[in-house]
Amino acid sequence: MNFVFREMRQNDKEKMRAFYAGLGEESTAFFNVNHGNENRTMDFFSSPRPNHRYFVAEIGNEIAGHLFLWDTDTAVPWLGIAVRDDFQGQGVGTRMLRSLFSLLKSEGYGGLLLRTAQANTAAQGLYEKCGFQRLGTHPSGEYLYLKRFGRKEETA
Ligand SMILES: CC(C)(COP(=O)(O)OP(=O)(O)OC[C@H]1O[C@@H](n2cnc3c(N)ncnc32)[C@H](O)[C@@H]1OP(=O)(O)O)[C@@H](O)C(=O)NCCC(=O)NCCS
């Protein structure tokens, strides 16, 4: 599979619309309640939010996966990630995270934080496979995860 991980670009607007349209009911419930993350992403094309960065995974000419960071002015930004329904379960999330870790490490970041719904066991599987540690429960009721970079023995 021809897999490309790269920063989102200004000419990706229609592809990003197609990506969000390709998230099914459950994915939307976990990732895009009230269009929150879609709005956060689409703002990039009109009035980019400060301290945000957006990435895509392309397979062929389609955006199969998407992730974004915020608080990028800190050593440990927050992460959001989703894979389009028809590409889930094929390793796209894992490949995106590994590509992201290697980029962020090279840029001197210390790690990543994220929150996920307690019911989102697929996402928890992805995060734990990729070396995130569950720290406990965030005040929102979601689980809080931390990935730390920089250990010599880590390759993920
Ligand atoms: C969570 C998500 C990003 C995972 O991406 P993905 O490309 O499907 O994941 P991968 O194929 O790389 O799988 C990685 C691991 O995740 C877990 N996983 C993925 N899909 C799973 C499923 N349907 N059920 C249980 N575990 C699953 C497994 O541990 C898997 O490891 P394995 O293949 O060695 O068993 C994707 O399911 C998704 O976009 N879901 C909807 C949006 C969402 O929930 N985003 C996260 C919000 S916090």
Residue closest by Cα to atom 14 of ligand 1? 126
Mean pLDDT by 10 residues, the chain (156 residues): 94 97 97 96 96 97 97 98 98 98 96 98 98 97 95 57
pTM score, whole prediction: 0.96
Q: What is the pLDDT of residue 137?
A: 98
Return the closest-CA partner of residue 77 out of 39, 122, 46, 109: 109
pLDDT on residue 29: 97
pLDDT of residue 151: 60
| Amino acid 65: pLDDT | 98
Domain positions in the chain: 3-148
Residue 43: what pLDDT? 97
Q: What pLDDT is recorded for position 118?
A: 98
Reading the block at residue 131, the tokens are 């070396």
Burial of 2 (0-12, 13-18, 19+ CB in 10 A): exposed
Contact 114, 79 (CB under 8 A): yes
Return the H-helix or E-strand segment holding 51: none
According to DSSP, the residues that pair with 69 across neighbouring strands are 53, 79
Whether ligand 1 lies within 6 angstroms of the CB of 54 is answered as no
CATH architecture of 3-148: 3-Layer(aba) Sandwich (3.40)
Residue 31 CB less than 6 A away from ligand 1: yes
Asked whether the beta carbons of 68 and 39 are under 8 A apart, the reply is no
